[in-house]
Amino acid sequence: MWDRVRHFFKYMNTREQMLFIYIVGGVLPLIIVSIFLTSSTRSILIQQAKDSEQAELNLLETTIRENLRIVTDVSLKMYFDEELETLALTQYSSYDEFIEAYRNYDVINQYLNDYNHEIQGISIYVENDTIASSSRFVKVDDDIRNADWYQKAYEMNGRATWYYKYEPVKLEKYLVLVRLIKNTDDVNIGVLVIVVKQELMNELLSGREYETAFVLDNKYVVATNTKDTDPQELIALLQDSDGTSSRVQYKGNECVLTISKLPSDKSYSTMENEIALVSIHPYADILKEINKRSVTSIIIIIVAFIASFLLINAFAARFSRRFRKLREQMHKVAQGDFDIKKQISGHDEISDLYKDLFTMIDSMQHLLSVVYEEQLQKEQLNSRQKDVEFKMLASQINPHFLYNTLETIRMKARVNHQPDIEELVKMLAKIMRRNIQVGDTLVTFKSEIELVEYYLKIQQYRFGDRIRYQVDIKCDIDEYKIMPLLIQPIVENAFVHGLEQKEGGGEIHINVENTDKLRIHVIDNGCGMNEEELEEITKGLNDFGHLDRSHIGLSNVNQRIKLIYGEKYGLVITSKKNEGTSVVIELPRNMR
């Protein structure tokens, strides 16, 4: 039989072979597969709908778990709050004494401010009769002692638990976390109640397309995304369910019940609550989508059959001729003849192959020219490097010449017994040497302060008694190292823009302190700036293009600091017109 098949193919041309292979190897298997897929599409799409709904619930469950974890974290922090322990267990002699202690305890307000999106209220229920009841501390009475949630807290003995609490005054129910707080001596401090914002629960469920509910302990429907939910029927379905997706009757309609249970939080003394997300997906909606997809699939298959047959027939008719032409051109290239036609007719794989062949030939020819150009560029680059090295060598002559000249002046001043000029030239030479040799290498903080003092002394030589300065270092800087030229540009800016234009005497104070950050204060009593000028300078600290050239030193220092130490460090500028300016250089605390 195989011999007959081979003989049959042997006398078929390329077009006939392609059509035969297309029908036998393409169309017939596709028809068989289409029939099989159509028969099994219904169950597959139903399962896909269930899996998709389960995945969406799992994603929502993760979001809810993270929000509830915030509440749990707050309860744990308050469990170990020694200040709360002192406040709750102290026996107060008067109402005013408690109020004073209560006002000094701001932890609850801080938690409410920090987590106002998740937490609606925090209350501590205490047995201390000397405490006056308030919104934060509630004195326990018999009604509270007999309440289920209060007894549950004592039953859990310090472990956190969720409870669906009823508020009789507002006629509302809230999801709350309840926890008995104890101290290290196993003495009961009080019962902590943290109320979860109901708006948060509703907000998390609001984006759901189908009816979805948040259920606690298979008893309480805490929140839903619709007002039409029947809590009793939903709880009954949930209690009868085995925890997996299932088809149920809900409100007289056939639906798919999907459940996603939040795992117990083992990191906080094991909560015993069972929390679940439940969705009700109408079965009719699933079938509607399945029927729509099935019709679409059949239409696509039919169109594909017709289009593919027409295309393969047209393609096969031209394939042999064009393939022979491609083979002839490739044979010329193999013989070393690169003079071939730029393209052949058509826009299919054969024409693409021919284009690739022509591109390969063009690339080979281009490669020869590129190699030549690279050799030429290497020679030019070597020439330029030598020129740059020569210029760099020549540029080094000027600083050395300047240092030697300054040293000659200094020695001349010493010979002529002019110590002021000698000292002035010495300080100027050290400043210029530091400015020219500055790089990325860290320098000692002490040398940087000495450099600034040199600059201040030179300015004092210029202005005499008109300028006064003070350097106050309030911490040990012997082992500190910082980037070079961070302080001098700020001091120089204070002289140029603050003191030189000021009538009368001027002062500059440099203070160094190390608290939460290493701060270097440069304060002058110069001309200062108005609000518009200060705002312009502040905007330009992180934008070279925004700041004018006269203040580019500030921007340079600020950006160098942020580049090396991080965005939370840099310059802080304050100023008042005709009163002076303060620039604070903020650096990391540990600069060793």
pTM, rounded to two decimals: 0.46
Evaluate whether residue 260 is within a structural domain: yes
Total number of domains in the chain: 2
Evaluate whether residue 457 is within a structural domain: no
Boundaries of domain holding 95: 1-328
Evaluate whether residue 447 is within a structural domain: no
Evaluate whether residue 401 is within a structural domain: no
CA nearest neighbour of 293 among 585, 37, 113, 535: 37
* Residues contacting 267, CB < 8 A, separation 6+: none
Evaluate whether residue 376 is within a structural domain: no
Evaluate whether residue 498 is within a structural domain: yes
Model pLDDT, residue 1: 58
Model pLDDT, residue 443: 84
CA nearest neighbour of 541 among 587, 580, 573: 573
Note the helical H segments in 335-473. Answer: 349-395, 397-415, 419-437, 445-463
Which of residues 292, 309, 328 is at a domain's end? 328
pLDDT averages per 10-residue partition of the chain, 592 residues:
61 68 74 73 76 85 88 90 88 88 88 91 90 86 90 90 75 84 89 89 84 87 86 86 83 87 56 82 80 76 78 71 68 67 65 70 70 64 44 44 59 65 67 60 85 82 81 86 85 84 84 90 90 86 56 77 86 90 90 70
Evaluate whether residue 546 is within a structural domain: yes
Compute the distance between CA of residue 556 and CA of residue 585 in angstroms, rounded to an integer: 13
SS3 per residue for 223-288: EECCCCCCHHHHHHHHHHCCCCCEEEEECCEEEEEEEEEECCCCCCCCCCCCEEEEEEEEHHHHHH
Model pLDDT, residue 547: 45
Are residues 220 and 196 in contact, defined by beta-carbon separation less than 8 angstroms?
A: no
Domain harbouring 555, CATH code: 3.30.565.10
Evaluate whether residue 439 is within a structural domain: no
* Total Cβ atoms within 10 A of residue 560: 16
Model pLDDT, residue 522: 93
Compute the distance between CA of residue 39 and CA of residue 254 in angstroms, rounded to an integer: 23
Strand order in the sheet with 119-126: 137-139, 119-126, 188-196, 172-182, 161-167
Model pLDDT, residue 515: 87
Which of residues 280, 309, 328 is at a domain's end? 328
CA separation (Å) from 483 to 273, 431, 448, 480, 487? Answer: 57, 15, 9, 10, 10
Radius of gyration of the chain (CA): 42
SS3 per residue for 141-176: CHHHHCCHHHHHHHHHCCCCEEEEEEECCCCEEEEE
Which of residues 328, 350, 371 is at a domain's end? 328
Model pLDDT, residue 396: 44
Model pLDDT, residue 99: 86
- Which residues does residue 581 pair with via DSSP β-bridges, in sequence order? 524, 575
